[in-house]
Amino acid sequence: MNRGLAEGFSVSETHGILWRPANEMRVASDGLGWDSLYASTQREAPYEAQFEAVRDHLIILHLDGPVAVSRALGKSQSRRVIGPGGLFMLPGGMDFGVRLEGHLESLHIYLRQGIIEEVANDFGLRTSDASDLVPRLGVRDPLVEQLGLNLRDLLKHKDPSSRMYVDYVARLMAAHLLRRHSGNDSTYTVAPVGGLTRAQVERAIDFMEGNLSEPLALADVAKASGLSPSHFARRFKSATGAPPHQYLMSMRVERAKRMLLEREPIVEIALSCGFTHQEHLTRIFRRLTGMTPASFRRASQS
């Protein structure tokens, strides 16, 4: 279950835009153990280049601008002036050319083809339909933008414990792409699902409780319940009222509360409860309780 944090989706699997010497990398998900997607922010310098296909799907969110971008797909060429919030979306398996005509602050997201296939299977689509996404240039999509900005914020904190949330975001994004950015004429819908059985919920919670100090992936917990990660995420929320990543974070804070009453050092409590460091515990603890760990300890002793 516990894979090293050095594993995961790495920049070496991307098209090569991010390797260009003139680009200034800000932050990236290398080394965080994110398997479902890759993400990075950077300052891109103007360039023109051709790139060979990779298997996974590329989404570029423009963080500033406007800037003109030209894209070539085979004999088809398009040019758009794209402002902040605009998207460049390229399905996996496509060679392409691009010309960036000015400097650009951008967020690059590579979404695993395997995640698209998993979610497509939940939709009841044929495997071949899972790759039927449409290239986009300069469109706006509020949900993709918001999810992208959430990933950007996670990158700033370099938080390995965010892994389950990233898995959840990847599947939410995959479902949205299949619904809104697919060339298939069908309207994709997900049939309503019930919650987990009591036994499945207990197995999932027991697994999380037994591995709170680990950077858990959604697939790890789903496996304990005998479901695919996509099905598990939706059914767990139906059964408990919270997505798995939120429930896990609440469990970590509850364990931290118990340990704070035992006067253990806060830095050791943070690591024992799956937080990256003491500041990470303090930030999450304050968000969920309105208090810092130190103030909670003082209040409990008074």
Per-residue model confidence as pLDDT tens digits over 150-190: 999 999 887 767 889 999 999 999 999 998 998 764 445 54
Q: φ and ψ at 108, to 5 degrees?
A: -105, 130
Tell me what the pLDDT averaged over the chain comes to: 88
Per-residue pLDDT, 291? 92
pLDDT tens profile 116-161: 998 888 777 654 544 579 999 999 999 999 999 999 999 988 776 7
Q: How confident is the model at residue 191 (pLDDT cuts 50, 70, 90)?
A: very low
* pTM for this model (two decimals): 0.83
Per-residue pLDDT, 130? 46
Domain ranges of the chain: 11-180, 198-241, 247-301
Q: Which residues contact 1 (CB under 8 A, 6 or more apart)?
A: 211, 214, 220
Assess whether the region 11-180 and the region 247-301 belong to the same CATH fold. no
Superfamily of domain 11-180: Jelly Rolls (2.60.120.10)
Nearest-angstrom CA–CA distance, 10 and 19: 12
Nearest-angstrom CA–CA distance, 115 and 56: 9
Q: Where are the alpha helices (DSSP H) in 124-265?
A: 142-157, 163-180, 198-210, 218-225, 229-240, 244-260
What is the CATH topology of the domain spanning 198-241? Arc Repressor Mutant, subunit A (1.10.10)
Superfamily of domain 247-301: Homeodomain-like (1.10.10.60)
